[in-house]
Amino acid sequence: MTDSDAYEALERLVIDFTEAFNREDIDEVMSYIAEDAIYDEFNGVRSVGLAAIRQAFEPQFAGAYGTMRFHTEDMFLDEAAGKALIRWVLTLEEETRAGAYRGLDILHFKDGKLTEKHTYCKARIPLIRKRSEMEADGGWPG
């Protein structure tokens, strides 16, 4: 596979994964995810493994936040490492209200499967964790 082919394959994988979310097809979304994958939500919650990740996604796919659509604004790909950064606007629409926020996902793929999904969003108040909590889960730098 040429570098161009690898780039295009990763780009297609990222687009198809995102579009599965927009079709609200949880089974298709889960088909992209590796058995031991990691999903870090924007709120600091971490889910590991298919069952835990599916459980984390279920409220979204059940309509708990209204109709959700990811609109890609930009994408950076590192095909050699199997990594992508996708910047998006997420629209949320319910019968009586609608809104949107910006965010991004850092995605890691290996052998065509998503192994890590790290989600970040713009917020007025950043999520600040205590040092002791971060040390306990191995996340404190240095």
**Exposure on the CB side of residue 37, measured as CA atoms within 13 A:** 28
* pLDDT under 50: residue ranges of the chain: none
Q: What pLDDT was estimated at residue 28?
A: 97
Query: What's phi and psi for 76, nearest 5 deg?
Result: -120, 135
Q: What pLDDT was estimated at residue 81?
A: 96
* Region label for 72, one of left (φ > 0), alpha (ψ between -120 and 50) or beta (otherwise): beta
Q: What pLDDT was estimated at residue 74?
A: 97
Q: What pLDDT was estimated at residue 127?
A: 76
Whole-structure pTM value? 0.88
Q: What is the mean pLDDT of the chain?
A: 93
Token pair of 133, please? 């909590």
Pairing of the two strands 83-93 and 33-40: unpaired
Beta bridge partners of residue 108, listed in sequence order:
83, 116
